[in-house]
Chains A and B, each alone.
Chain A
């Protein structure tokens, strides 16, 4: 195999936890095939590539760039634009790049709220040492610069056009593998597609038995002894399975945890959180407004549960198209 024909790829983490990178490594021995198949030009967690090296590439020189994490600061945005420019295919990898993800929950509050909590009011901060980061600081006649922390968290496609979305927190290793192979073989679906996921909800693949739903009380998973054969939602455990794309392998419901919704909304659905709210509200077994409120109050932080992975890409944040 000549050097030239090797696939040129880059992987990057924006506002992320690192789990997506671990998911790539979770492909086990396949990662060695990737190394044989491709030149990894940037992968901060595993490979010694510098931003300057990427900046030096010709436009479109990369075959594919996998961007995980949301866009939270100016560095994330800079690399997003850089990879877009240098890569033929840009993949939003994982929930954060796809929809904003867990970091996107920060959009319920402001940057000032976050700084106050993290740098000023936090009890673990030493008194007299309460410093809030600013983008540039003069030190000994020089100026130190750090990335600018944005007011809001963005999904990748709010910053640059995205070719494919590989959902999941993190994407299931078999889906990662399939996506890399698809790029290697050029066997690609139409641009803009969500890949490595089904067009049906998690319930399609969940083996639990489903019947008509009437919920009179919600439980946290530890509050009840579950029936392992029955739909979790029918047992009063909040499960986002009905509102979430399948493709994950039903990992959470299979272990008795309600689906957390990381694979995002079904095709055509503009706002996954709104769907969660309206579907759950529809199956509450009461007509008395006060009782309904009591039942729903048993769900802690309902908005954060409904929008756990998708707040920045939701109607709440003025996004109006699926």
Chain B
């Protein structure tokens, strides 16, 4: 360990830290630690004056290591690393001690909390003394983009990228573009035809010479890392033998969409047994063909719409599918205009009308004499065949919540509002592009609020309903957001890769291959000639899995070396 000059800054975070931790006491303590030449406290270290203080001290006191005891590094590590860089110091000569989330926010005993803050500061001081200067690398960015899925999301993203001047490969499993939206008649709440929305997109996509549309195709392999992915796509159409296409892309947008819930899983709705119980998608088909009718061709006199089929239930999917409520209201409108005099019952749990124009649409629907019946979550209505004397095809028994009564609804046609669910092949896509799925199977975003279209794998973006149920405006917004994110990166030509990654010391690697299959990002390759493993630094996300598994200590996790971690532990425990 080189002799060094450490500066320690204790942030009060307004009163967030100072009301529990005695910051002056921590400062005095820090001054006694080895190599610490300066220690200070300030109200807001992350503020401009706080950062300036660090920059000036580095320059006037010759500090070469900095510890800030403040909030979580997830909050402000980047801020202070930048301050070091501004002062001309390598940004990795910095360590944060989290005395807010890990201390002042979770403790009430001031004396004990102050002692803990001191221990955390000592750990950070011991650690930072062993930090090494790390350099960030840059790699070239291939401007071409792979878009998986030819629904409204994929089409929109492809157009934005192609119109900015870059080539797009648009891969669609089916024989036609359009995705699930192509199965829809009108859209809520403004009753625009889905066909119109799509035709415009599809025409522009097929006419754009920068977009290669690969129908009947799927991604079968993806190797490499951001800016440098090699994709293999397999095309299987009926007329030709399967063929594979390989190409380079810099980024991938996953817009693979959703599948509808299988209504047959709820047995007492009689779907598949009662001929006039249909799903919302089958009903859309009727609407598109302009023939809302029963299986024997008669016009229904009573149409019932059942909400939350597969959604908001403990046995199936706990989440709300977001689009069904408005679609159900749309059906009420469409049935009334197709069959004047037809009585529509809308059987729901809660009416979710959160989108722009949705509440207004709900109000207008209530005014056109649709009968709204509320059932309780978990107490589903029961659909059964009616007797000839009932004067209708089926009866729906509902324990109606607002009246508190059990009501039988006559029905000739029942529409089940089937929810959205993750596609059954989503795990294959997730594996191919190296992204994660949540417990429901939806792809997981990098940050649910602040980074909704990026994933934990650099260069892989998700858009639309493959990430969670959403309506068309949200889907399009995500598609355009992912296109914009990619265009911003492509515009810079090169990308900077974080300097924190795992590294194999080839002189120490025995080629045991324990690490080869562990990397969740496929960043480890094995050199068959030299018989050593190697980490592709641009792909590595510094999770540490290989470093902790490496039985011979040949893999070093940069910035998380054993020496640094042990020093920190020693500092905290001493």
Please give the residue numbers on chain A whose beta carbons come within 8 Å of chain B beta carbons, in ascending order. 199-204, 210-214, 231, 233, 241-243, 246, 265-270, 275-276, 278-279, 282-283, 320-322
- The answer to whether B510 touches A279, judged by C-beta atoms less than 8 angstroms apart, is no
Chain B residues near A242: list those with CB within 8 A.
510, 512, 514, 551-552
CA distance A276 to B545 in the complex (A): 14
Q: Return A276 CB to nearest CB of chain B, in Å.
A: 7
CA distance A279 to B546 in the complex (A): 9
Given known A-B contacts A200-B508, A200-B510, A266-B508, A279 and B517 have beta carbons under 8 A apart: no
Q: Return A185 CB to nearest CB of chain B, in Å.
A: 27
Q: Return A233 CB to nearest CB of chain B, in Å.
A: 8
B182 at the A interface (CB under 8 A): no
Given known A-B contacts A211-B513, A320-B566, A278 and B552 have beta carbons under 8 A apart: no
Q: Once A and B bind, how many residue pairs between them come within 8 Å at the CB atom?
A: 84
CA distance A53 to B411 in the complex (A): 110
Q: Return B517 CB to nearest CB of chain A, in Å.
A: 4
- The answer to whether B570 touches A320, judged by C-beta atoms less than 8 angstroms apart, is yes
Query: Dominant SS at the B interface?
Result: loop
Q: Return B119 CB to nearest CB of chain A, in Å.
A: 17
B488 at the A interface (CB under 8 A): no
Chain B residues near A266: list those with CB within 8 A.
508, 551-554
- The answer to whether A282 touches B510, judged by C-beta atoms less than 8 angstroms apart, is no
- The answer to whether B510 touches A269, judged by C-beta atoms less than 8 angstroms apart, is no
CA distance A306 to B517 in the complex (A): 22
Given known A-B contacts A204-B510, A204-B511, A242-B510, A279 and B551 have beta carbons under 8 A apart: yes
B206 at the A interface (CB under 8 A): no
- A sample of 10 inter-chain contacts (CB < 8 A) reads A200-B507, A203-B510, A204-B511, A211-B516, A242-B551, A266-B508, A279-B514, A282-B518, A283-B517, A322-B562
B220 at the A interface (CB under 8 A): no
CA distance A213 to B533 in the complex (A): 13
Chain A residues near B548: list those with CB within 8 A.
278, 282
Chain B residues near A213: list those with CB within 8 A.
513-514, 516-517
B509 at the A interface (CB under 8 A): yes
Q: Return B431 CB to nearest CB of chain A, in Å.
A: 13
CA distance A266 to B566 in the complex (A): 17
Beta-carbon contacts of B396-436 to A below 8 Å, as 1s and 0s?
00000000000000000000000000000000000000000
CA distance A276 to B566 in the complex (A): 19
CA distance A211 to B526 in the complex (A): 9
Q: Return A78 CB to nearest CB of chain B, in Å.
A: 32
| Chain A residue nearest in CB terms to B513 | A210
B550 at the A interface (CB under 8 A): yes
B197 at the A interface (CB under 8 A): no
CA distance A185 to B518 in the complex (A): 47
Cβ-neighbour of B510 out of A202, A270, A322 (below 8 A): A202
- The answer to whether B513 touches A201, judged by C-beta atoms less than 8 angstroms apart, is no
Chain A residues near B510: list those with CB within 8 A.
200-204, 241-242, 246
Chain B residues near A201: list those with CB within 8 A.
510, 512, 551-552, 554
Q: Return A201 CB to nearest CB of chain B, in Å.
A: 4
Chain A residues near B552: list those with CB within 8 A.
200-201, 242-243, 266, 269, 275
Chain B residues near A204: list those with CB within 8 A.
510-511
Beta-carbon contacts of B281-320 to A below 8 Å, as 1s and 0s?
0000000000000000000000000000000000000000
Q: Return A285 CB to nearest CB of chain B, in Å.
A: 9
Chain B residues near A199: list those with CB within 8 A.
507-508
Chain B residues near A246: list those with CB within 8 A.
510
CA distance A303 to B548 in the complex (A): 18
Cβ-neighbour of B545 out of A233, A282, A322 (below 8 A): A282
Chain B contacts with A in 465-511, Cβ cutoff 8 A: 507-511
CA distance A124 to B458 in the complex (A): 68
Chain A residues near B545: list those with CB within 8 A.
282
Chain A residues near B566: list those with CB within 8 A.
270, 320-321
Interface centre among B514, B517, B518 (most CB of A within 10 A): B514
| Chain A residue nearest in CB terms to B569 | A320
B266 at the A interface (CB under 8 A): no
- The answer to whether B549 touches A278, judged by C-beta atoms less than 8 angstroms apart, is yes
Q: Return A235 CB to nearest CB of chain B, in Å.
A: 14
Interface centre among A243, A267, A270 (most CB of B within 10 A): A243
Q: Return A74 CB to nearest CB of chain B, in Å.
A: 31
CA distance A282 to B555 in the complex (A): 15
CA distance A275 to B518 in the complex (A): 15
CA distance A199 to B506 in the complex (A): 11
Chain A residues near B549: list those with CB within 8 A.
278-279, 282-283
- Among all A-B residue pairs, the 4 with the closest Cβ atoms: A243-B551, A201-B510, A242-B512, A282-B549
Chain B contacts with A in 115-133, Cβ cutoff 8 A: none
CA distance A246 to B508 in the complex (A): 11
Chain B residues near A231: list those with CB within 8 A.
513
Cβ-neighbour of B516 out of A200, A202, A212 (below 8 A): A212
Chain B contacts with A in 190-210, Cβ cutoff 8 A: none
Q: Return B437 CB to nearest CB of chain A, in Å.
A: 13
CA distance A201 to B510 in the complex (A): 5
Chain B residues near A214: list those with CB within 8 A.
517
Chain A residues near B518: list those with CB within 8 A.
282-283
Chain B residues near A269: list those with CB within 8 A.
552-553
CA distance A267 to B552 in the complex (A): 8
Chain B residues near A265: list those with CB within 8 A.
553
| Chain A residue nearest in CB terms to B516 | A212
Q: Return A299 CB to nearest CB of chain B, in Å.
A: 15
Q: Return B274 CB to nearest CB of chain A, in Å.
A: 40
- The answer to whether B513 touches A212, judged by C-beta atoms less than 8 angstroms apart, is yes
- The answer to whether A268 touches B570, judged by C-beta atoms less than 8 angstroms apart, is no
CA distance A247 to B570 in the complex (A): 33
Chain B residues near A267: list those with CB within 8 A.
508, 553
Q: Return B534 CB to nearest CB of chain A, in Å.
A: 14
Chain B residues near A202: list those with CB within 8 A.
510
CA distance A266 to B507 in the complex (A): 12
CA distance A246 to B552 in the complex (A): 11
CA distance A233 to B554 in the complex (A): 19
CA distance A270 to B204 in the complex (A): 62
Q: Return A38 CB to nearest CB of chain B, in Å.
A: 35
Q: Return A110 CB to nearest CB of chain B, in Å.
A: 25
Given known A-B contacts A270-B566, A282-B545, A241 and B512 have beta carbons under 8 A apart: yes
| Chain B residue nearest in CB terms to A214 | B517
| Chain A residue nearest in CB terms to B517 | A212
Chain B contacts with A in 65-113, Cβ cutoff 8 A: none
Chain A residues near B511: list those with CB within 8 A.
203-204, 210
